[in-house]
Amino acid sequence: MILDKKSDLITTIEEDADIENLSADSDEEVEYQPTKLRHKRITEFEKGFEFVSSAKEYNVDTWDDLMKFVKRKARTKTDDKIAAKLKDRPAQAGDSSEEELDLSEDELKHDGLRIREGVKKKSKKKKQKELEEEEAENEADKDFFEEGTNNEEITSFYQMNLSRPLMRAIGVLGYIYPTPIQASTIPIALLGRDICGCAATGTGKTAAYMLPTLERLLYRPVNNKAVTRVLVLVPTRELGAQVYQVTRQLCQFTSIETGLAIGGLDVKAQENVLRQNPDIVIATPGRLIDHIKNTPSFSLESIEVLILDEADRMLDEYFAEQMKEIINSCSKTRQTMLFSATMSEQVKDLAAVSLDKPVKVFVNNNQTVAFNLRQEFIRIREDKEGDREPILAALICRTFHDHCMVFVQTKKQAHRLHILLGLLGVRAGELHGNLTQQQRLDSLKKFKEEQIDVLIATDVAARGLDIVGVKTVINFVMPITTEHYIHRVGRTARAGRAGVSVSLAGEKERKIVKDIIKNAESTVKNRIIPPEIIEKYRKKVNALEAEIQSILEEERVERQMAKTEQQLSKAERRLKGMQDKPRDWFQTKKQREEEKERLALTPSEPKQNAGGAKKNPKAGAKREWGGDGEDGPPVVEKKSKKAKEEKKKSPEQLAKERALKELEQVSLVRAKLSKIKKRPGKLNAIADVTRADKVSGGKKNRSKFAIDLTDVSRSGAKRLRSEANRHKKLKGIQNKKLKGAGNNVKLKNKAGLNNFNKGKHFGGPRFSKKKK
């Protein structure tokens, strides 16, 4: 409202009117605004600092222990190329110092922050319906799962009767109070029961299953032959490395040996460790099957405890065949523990098949983000999709300088952003599937040790990774589902710490944003970066395009040379007769190709390409490697035409195309997930309990037939099977007797003992011949 001086009336504010903002920002809001101050790393002694008793204890580093599995290779040269480009630039007067960043006054202008209006709250009827559905689901689960107790009385690790070496390790690691999942799981696991555990990310699931397992291993027979007793399966290599480090820290004061079998690391080093039969093996499914088939003295017959971490991810169709092979290879009399952040139908199906009288430990279904997470969204207009890179650069350079993770959908985009941010002067790293395992572990280590400030990653880093001190998570494009979003933003605001998530959301991603806001417990903010700031960073990105392209071209040439060298060395080894023996696999080549085609996002495209290559292999070779143009126009001409077409496009158009490719990849994965959800699920038989039964306490006179029909217990199933088998056996005996009788008649006929019946007709009417 505005006060009119002439009439002393308050008039309505017009839409285009500029109103002075007289409200002062709170300290909390100022913290998330642009600043010049650089993050200061703490180098002094902390409060809890204590001197160690020996140099050996001081030098213990789980990363060094992990590096024995790494096959040494040349480190990534991308950072060297970025450094060379920065060195070639002329020195500027306003270079950033160690304490402050080089930002102009206009770049320090505050971003607009508005509270995002939530979706209308659910009506009472909808809430009641959801509660009824949840109750019905829990009733169905009760037939198979036994509910675990909350164990609210357990407030300390001392109440769990753990051994002294483990209690000492817990003290060294700084664990004070057990988390809810730890308090509920550890006492049940110590009893040797099968467990199906569900808790949110960052609640200490690794320690929840590893502490009771280590306690059980402390009482193993010492003098007996070394045997692998525990198998921990994880979906990603980085999570496997993290679980290995946590396990090594927990068993540092014991004689328990731990082995690691994850992809990308040195196979020979892993074989040497597995031949010694370590007590615990932490593995990814693919590499584990490789060792089962190719490492002679290693098998899973002696496994006493099987643990599936991130079970919902382990049970998707990408791991389905491998998981079947592994579970069939394990001992039948084992303790099995499933742990997951989200309880899916696949997890329940596996629990029904492989668990024996399991206990369900349900702490949190991970349907909401952490209570101490501040959620922000930046709206991208439909015609401004190409502004994603400038907006990201503005966010990182101005506001979120350090301890920041950026999630993207494709490996190509992750690499490009690494180069872009590096040329802008940001210490950045990348983590995705195109890197070697050493490079991936190196990026993680640098980020944990604060040698780099920003880590750009694909969804390979979205699950399970516990990186202490991550302050901000930025989503370059919105993830596939709300579950994926919860996993991504779960990298920050862990174990009670505060965190921020900033997501760039376009018009095509409005639906998922609405779902997130609907489920949000705290207020969601809308960040508005001033248009002049976006324009300034757009110009910066466009100016760096030539340098980015030159680095990418250099790397492409290097990759091609490395590939050629590899082929030459392979051919040389063949000529010398030093060819390596092919490693066995549980699937044939044809089965693997069929599975790959089935799991591809666009299965029709590879078929066409493969068919084209078969029809005209020479033309295919020309397209890839080039030539002197005898069988057609040389590739150089085609490439030059393509380059000319790209030159015609403006940088804004190219940026928009890159952003749309990212969104297209997301939509393809989302479409595939929706198809999987539409598949018919398995039918589960449950007793139909009416309200009248509930009121009367479920006691009702029912017939024996009805009882047998609805009895889904194990004993009932055995009884029905035994009756069916008995009936089948009796029928078989009867058939044999009949067959025997038939054979006797035939023998008598052959011997001529049935001549007195010859010509006689038994049964049926007699037909006389018609007279002509």
Concatenate the DSSP letters of all residues of 397-460 into one string. III--SSEEEE-S-HHHHHHHHHHHHHTT--EEEESTTS-HHHHHHHHHHHHTTS-SEEEE-GG
Which distant-in-sequence residues (6+ apart) come within 8 Å of 41 by Cβ? 450
285-299, 510-524, 633-647, 675-689: which range is least confident on average?
A: 633-647
Kindly tell me if the per-residue pLDDT of 292 is higher than 70: yes
For residues 624 and 31, the model is more confident at 31
What's residue 322's pLDDT? 86
User: Is 121 a residue whose pLDDT tops 70?
Assistant: no
Q: How much is the mean pLDDT over the chain?
A: 77
* More reliable by pLDDT, 413 or 632: 413
Mean per-residue pLDDT, 629-638: 41
Please check whether residue 369 is in contact with residue 494, taking contact to mean a CB–CB distance below 8 angstroms.
Answer: no
- Beta bridge partners of residue 527, listed in sequence order: 113
Separation of alpha carbons 566 and 574, rounded Å: 12
Q: 165 falls in which pLDDT band (50, 70, 90)?
A: very high
At residue 15, the pLDDT reads: 57
User: Collapsing DSSP states into helix, strand and coil, what is residue 29?
Assistant: helix
Asked if the model's pLDDT at residue 632 lies above 60, the reply is no
Q: How confident is the model at residue 142 (pLDDT cuts 50, 70, 90)?
A: low
Question: For the residues 430-439, what does the mean pLDDT come to?
Answer: 88
Can you list the pairs that 573-579 forms with residues at least 24 positions away whose Cβ atoms lie under 8 Å? none
Per-residue model confidence (pLDDT) at position 690: 47
Q: Six-digit token pair at 270?
A: 């892993």
Of the ranges 210-214, 269-273, 298-302, 350-354, the best mean pLDDT one: 210-214
Tell me what pLDDT residue 747 has: 60
- Structural contact between residues 73 and 438, judged by C-beta atoms closer than 8 angstroms: yes
Q: Best-predicted range by mean pLDDT among 137-141, 287-291, 489-493, 723-727? A: 287-291
**Mean pLDDT to the nearest integer, 752-761:** 59
Position 259 scores a pLDDT of 93
Q: Where in the chain are all domains bearing CATH 3.40.50.300? A: 157-362, 373-551
DSSP 615-642: H-HHHHHHHHH----SSSS-HHHHHHHH
Which pLDDT score is estimated for 752?
67
Strand partners, 456: 406, 430
Residue ranges of alpha helices (H) inside 576-699 are: 589-599, 604-615, 617-625, 635-648, 651-678, 691-695
What pLDDT digit, counting tens, does each position of 354-367 carry?
788 888 888 876 67
Tokens of 2: 């505005």
State yes or no: pLDDT of 727 exceeds 80. Answer: no
CA of 465: how far to CAs of 124, 205, 316, 341, in Å?
39, 12, 19, 13
Distance CA 214, CA 279 (A): 9
Mean pLDDT of 329-350: 80
> In the predicted model, is pLDDT for residue 478 greater than 80?
yes
pLDDT in tens, 648-704: 678 888 888 888 888 888 888 888 777 777 766 555 554 444 444 544 454 456 666
Range 77-84, long-range pairs (CB < 8 A, 24+ positions) = 77/555, 77/558, 78/415, 78/418, 78/419, 78/422, 78/551, 78/555, 79/422, 81/551, 81/554, 81/555, 82/419, 82/422, 82/423, 82/551
pLDDT at 269 over 80: yes
Domain 373-551 sits in CATH at 3.40.50.300
> 3-class DSSP state for residue 608?
helix
Work out the end-to-end distance of the chain between its first and last CA atoms, rounded to an integer number of angstroms: 120
Judged by average pLDDT, the poorest of 288-292, 431-435, 605-609 is 605-609
Q: What is the CATH number of domain 157-362?
A: 3.40.50.300
Q: Is the dihedral of CA 443, 448, 449, 451 positive or negative?
A: positive
Confidence band, pLDDT 50/70/90 cuts, at residue 738 = low
* 42 conformational bin, left if phi > 0, alpha if psi -120 to 50, beta if neither: beta
